[in-house]
Structure 1
Amino acid sequence: MPLKFLSVILLLFIAGCNTDVDLASYSFYEETENWQVSMLVEEKPFGETTTEEAELTFVYIGKNPVPDGVSVIVDTEFPYRGEISQKFDDFEGEAVMPFGNNYFAEADRFGSPYTIEINWDEEVEEFIIELEKN
């Protein structure tokens, strides 16, 4: 009898650990006079080392020549997350910044969306990432 009971408990535990869940993906796109900025965010299954992967792409579309140097600052007021910055010294008009475990979707859900600041040729543009579920 105890063996049957343990078998039932084990089967219930295994059924509860089913990882076939619908994982969400989100996107953001905005275009200004100088920049096209897009982001794709994909949630990963619970229990994996990486819970979210994101990719930020920005393309210079301004009328002036492509700037040589561009710096990008990504920031939020979401708890335990801080500023991420990267400088692109040999910028060729388009660049991609990959991210892992930055909780873009979670920050957006809790009203602390990330901001993107692009600096080039003594100019600055700021974007607020408002994610849309795909």
Structure 2
Amino acid sequence: MNASRVAPVVGIVGCLAVLVALVVPYLTTEAGAAGTYYATGAISPLVGGLFAVVAVVVFAAGRAGRTDPATAAGVTLVFGIVVALVSLVWALTVPEAVVFQLSTDSALEYHRWVLALCSLVIPASGVWYARTLGLV
């Protein structure tokens, strides 16, 4: 098992987990409620989702050799930190009252923390990727 090829795959899986977590409220709440849910925090986690989409491309390009692996590791580490910070800031600032008003589904109660946890995988895999290349 070549760690320099596994680390980007873990990063891609982390990015996809963030994107899936961002879609869940749209599937489990009434129309328009997810927009309200995401707009109530200090910053929308959809901004982090945008960075996660770009990180998927960079992880894949670094793994396939279309981008210098060292550059890909650095870029994904920075993007991962941005995704994690945005998700954590949003999770800490969204009012609990909004969460409980939007859905009676108890899964939404833990959604913001699951999103924050998933977002931590991206910078962790970026660090792992950089370490496998001898950069850190």
TM-score range, shorter chain: under 0.3
TM-score by length of 2: 0.27
Q: Provide TM-score, normalisation by structure 1.
A: 0.27
* Larger strand percent: 1
More helix by share: 2
Greater Cα radius of gyration, structure 1 or 2: 1
